[in-house]
Structure 1
Amino acid sequence: MIGFVGIGVIFVMVFGGYILAGGKLGIILKSLPFEMMMIGGAAVGAFLISNDMAAVKHTAKDVGKVFKGPKWKHDDYRDLLCLLFELIRLARQNPVAIEEHIEDPENSSIFSKYPKILGDGEAIALICDTMRSASMNYDDPHQVEEVLDKRMEANLNHAQHSSHALQTMADGLPALGIVAAVLGVIKTMASIDQPPEVLGKMIGGALVGTFLGVFLAYGLVGPFASKLKTVLDEDGHFYQLIREVLVANLHNHATNICIEVGRQNTPSHCRPSFSELEEALKEVKSSGAA
């Protein structure tokens, strides 16, 4: 919602200030379709050249995150800690019983309690692969930790490709605006025999290209890229929490300590309180006992 508010503020302040200063929208509106065709079309074409189809689809899908915000909310972090608690507790009580859950999470009675987490393939793969490694009796937990770090770094770099692609487009828009403006000047020079009032309108139309390129770059596309990167970074904390809890488990810390390590590493605005998590874990224990 705040994204739409921001866009509204940009348009109202820029064009409202222009009108209040005595500017006329007529020349902008008349030139806008042609300038947008040149600048926007060139930007889209350059975007398609510099990215493969998978990246194009990924970016188009990710643009919605600018308005929706991070995928993982406060309750999801609490649920993740509860899920990890159940898995770690079962793995220590009955190492054989945990195999059916990590080998077939889709049909697991534990994973099915948390459908949103189950629907995220990377989160499930991260949990199952790491717990599978633990069951293989790795001699060095640091080795697993290093593998996790490299995997998460690669995943984050891949996820952030869409924000990098948008930022590249934003960086190129001012230059494309200059291209459109130069074309407008060329058109004006070809009509140099026209009266001053006609030439003035033509020059004004050419300058719309410069304005539009800069406006789109710093008013819309650049902020979109920045916001998207922020959202992707925040969602990355969810997978970082998985890493922290499972690494603590590899070091044979008590189950409650592993979960508390995860809680402490949860972003402050999503972190469940100690008492809230304690209540949630009590419900997990009672349902497991039943």
Structure 2
Amino acid sequence: MFAIAGVLIVIISVVSGYLASHGSILALWQPFEVIIICGAALGAFMVANPFIVQKKVLTMLPQVFSGSRHNKRFYLQLLGVMYSLFQKSRQNGFLSIEEDIESPFTSELFKRFPDVIRDHELVDFLTDNYRIFTLTGLPSHEIEAIMDNEIEQIQEELVAPSHALTRVAEGLPGFGIVAAVLGIVITMGSIGGPLEEIGDSCGGGIGWNIFGYLFWLWLCWSCCFPFGEFRCSRIESLFMC
């Protein structure tokens, strides 16, 4: 919600300031240059990133605008499920939690913590490491090393969508310049025409160069940075385990 409000404030501030300076909004209306900038950015994104990263970006984008699920209630439930597993295994032995860790989504123990069970990756992380702990009998320091390696791997996977969007955002000013130059090329082709048309064409080209920068700012501040915060909250939840 705050990200959407921030984007609206930026757009309203820029457009209202431009209109207050007696600018013509029609000079900025260049739909084909929008196609150039957004289409080039989308194509570059698809070329530069594998399909799995593209899919993760699409699935994580709604969470950027809806906010992270990892709040106080979530962490309390995470502590609760770990405490319940340890308590049950201490009282009845490790075999008593075997059914819980083998089928966590049908387990009555996990069902008491709905926020945790909705995070399938976290549940898999929990159950996999409890399974190693109960079945292998490895020393605690070796289990800790295994968990750290898995967290590093998950961290790399979580960083990938943020880096993918950041690279696209960094290219948007360049795509804006391309659109502006193409607008100037069109203007030079009609250099013998009326001065009003030449002025509108030049203004539109320069205006959409600015659009590229604004789109870059929006993508960085509204998507890339929240992606980073979302990644940090996910890693914190794993370290709590």
Q: TM-score, normalised by structure 1?
A: 0.78
The alpha-carbon deviation at position 41 of structure 1 amounts to 0.6
Q: Say how many residue pairs are matched.
A: 239
1:174–1:214 Cα contact (<8 Å) kept: yes
The alpha-carbon deviation at position 139 of structure 1 amounts to 4.3
Which deviations, in whole Å up to 9, do the C-alpha atoms of 1:249-278 show, x marking residues without a partner? Answer: xxxxxxxxxxxxxxxxxxxxxxxxxxxxxx
CA–CA separation in structure 2 for the residues paired with 1:132 and 1:92:
15
Question: 2:59: which partner in 1?
Answer: 61
2:28–2:208 Cα contact (<8 Å) kept: no
> Could you say what secondary structure the match of 1:106 adopts?
coil
> Could you say what secondary structure the match of 1:92 adopts?
helix
After the TM superposition, which of the residue ranges 192-201 and 18-27 deviates more from structure 2?
192-201
CA–CA separation in structure 2 for the residues paired with 1:23 and 1:79:
55
Describe how 1:75-154 pairs up with structure 2 within 5 A: 75-95=73-93, 96-136=95-135, 138-154=137-153
CA–CA separation in structure 2 for the residues paired with 1:97 and 1:61:
36
Q: Tell me which amino acid in the other structure corresponds to 2:146.
A: V
Question: 1:17: which partner in 2?
Answer: 17
After the TM superposition, which of the residue ranges 190-199 and 19-28 deviates more from structure 2?
190-199
Please tell me the root mean square deviation across aligned C-alpha atoms, in Å.
1.6
The alpha-carbon deviation at position 81 of structure 1 amounts to 1.1
2:184–2:205 Cα contact (<8 Å) kept: yes
Q: Tell me which amino acid in the other structure corresponds to 1:122.
A: E
After the TM superposition, which of the residue ranges 98-107 and 81-90 deviates more from structure 2?
98-107
Which deviations, in whole Å up to 9, do the C-alpha atoms of 1:75-127 show, x marking residues without a partner? Answer: 11111111111100111222221222222223322112123322322222222
1:185–1:206 Cα contact (<8 Å) kept: yes
Give unpaired runs (5+ residues) of structure 1: 243-290
CA–CA separation in structure 2 for the residues paired with 1:166 and 1:106:
33
CA–CA separation in structure 2 for the residues paired with 1:45 and 1:39:
10
CA–CA separation in structure 1 for the residues paired with 2:108 and 2:176:
57
Question: 1:229: which partner in 2?
Answer: 228
- Runs of at least 4 residues off by over 3 Å: 136-139
The alpha-carbon deviation at position 137 of structure 1 amounts to 5.3
After the TM superposition, which of the residue ranges 134-143 and 145-154 deviates more from structure 2?
134-143
Of all paired residues, the percent bearing the same amino acid is 30
CA–CA separation in structure 2 for the residues paired with 1:71 and 1:80:
12
After the TM superposition, which of the residue ranges 220-229 and 92-101 deviates more from structure 2?
92-101
Q: Which has the larger radius of gyration?
A: 1
CA separation of 1:107/1:168 partners in 2, compared to 1, >3 Å: closer, same or farther? same
1:71–1:235 Cα contact (<8 Å) kept: no
2:37–2:175 Cα contact (<8 Å) kept: yes
1:40 counterpart (33, 38, 41): 38
The alpha-carbon deviation at position 53 of structure 1 amounts to 2.5
Give unpaired runs (5+ residues) of structure 2: none
CA–CA separation in structure 2 for the residues paired with 1:228 and 1:78:
23
1:70–1:235 Cα contact (<8 Å) kept: no
The alpha-carbon deviation at position 146 of structure 1 amounts to 1.2
Q: Tell me which amino acid in the other structure corresponds to 1:148.
A: M
2:77–2:115 Cα contact (<8 Å) kept: no
